[in-house]
Chain A
Amino acid sequence: MKQYSIFDIVGPDMIGPSSSHTAGAARISFMASKIFGLPIRNVVFELHGSFSKTYKGHGSDKALLAGILGIRHNDDRLREAYKIAEGRIDYTFVKVDLGDVHPNTVRITMTSEEGIVGIIQGSSIGGGNSVITKIDDIDVEIDGMYDTLITVHQDKPGMIARLSNVLLEENINIAFMKVYREIKGKNAIMVLETDELISRSSLENLKSVEGVFKTTYIPKGGN
Chain B
Amino acid sequence: MFIKDSVSIINYCDDNQMSLFDYALSYEQSLSDKNSEEIMGQMFHYLAVMKESIKNGLDKSMGGKGKIIERKAKDVYDSANNNQMIAASGDTMLRAVSYGLAVMEVNITMGRIVAAPTAGASGILPAVFLSLQESFALTDEKLVEGLFVAGLVGAIIAGNASIAGSKGGCQAEVGSAAAMAAVAGLYMLDTSLHQVFHGGAIALKNLMGLICDPVAGLVEVPCQKRNAIGISNSLVAIDLVRSGMESYIPFDEVVEAMKRVGDLMPSCHRETGNGGIANTQTGIMYNHKIFSE
Q: Which residues of chain A have a CB within 8 Å of any CB of chain B?
A: 1-20, 22-23, 50, 53-54, 56-59, 62, 74, 76, 78-79, 126-128, 195
Contact = CB atoms under 8 A, between A and B. Distances in A.
21 contacts: A6-B152, A10-B117, A10-B148, A10-B154, A11-B115, A11-B116, A13-B113, A16-B111, A17-B219, A53-B217, A54-B217, A56-B291, A57-B67, A57-B218, A57-B290, A58-B218, A58-B219, A76-B111, A78-B110, A127-B115, A127-B163
Contacts of B219: 16-18, 58
A171 B12 CA distance: 36
A17 B27 contact: no
Contacts of A10: 43, 46, 114, 116-117, 125, 147-148, 150-151, 154
A1 B156 CA distance: 10
Nearest to A220: B33
A16 B154 contact: no
B155 interface: yes
A88 B138 CA distance: 49
A73 to B, nearest CB: 10
B154 A9 contact: yes
Contacts of B155: 3-6, 8-9
A3 B46 CA distance: 21
A79 B110 contact: yes
B118 interface: yes
A7 B28 CA distance: 8
A128 B115 contact: yes
Interface string B1-28: 0111000000000000000000010011
A219 B155 CA distance: 25
Interface in B55-82: 67
A6 B218 contact: no
Contacts of A13: 45-46, 49, 112-115
A127 B45 contact: no
B115 A14 contact: yes
Given A1-B4, A13-B46, A54-B217, A19 B118 contact: yes
A21 B152 CA distance: 26
B218 A17 contact: yes
A127 B110 contact: no
Contact of B2 (A3, A16, A17, A76): A3
Given A9-B117, A16-B122, 20 more contacts: A1-B3, A1-B160, A2-B159, A3-B2, A3-B3, A7-B42, A8-B155, A10-B43, A10-B116, A11-B46, A11-B115, A11-B116, A13-B114, A14-B112, A15-B111, A56-B291, A57-B216, A126-B164, A126-B166, A128-B119
Nearest to B27: A6
Contacts of B112: 13-16, 74, 76
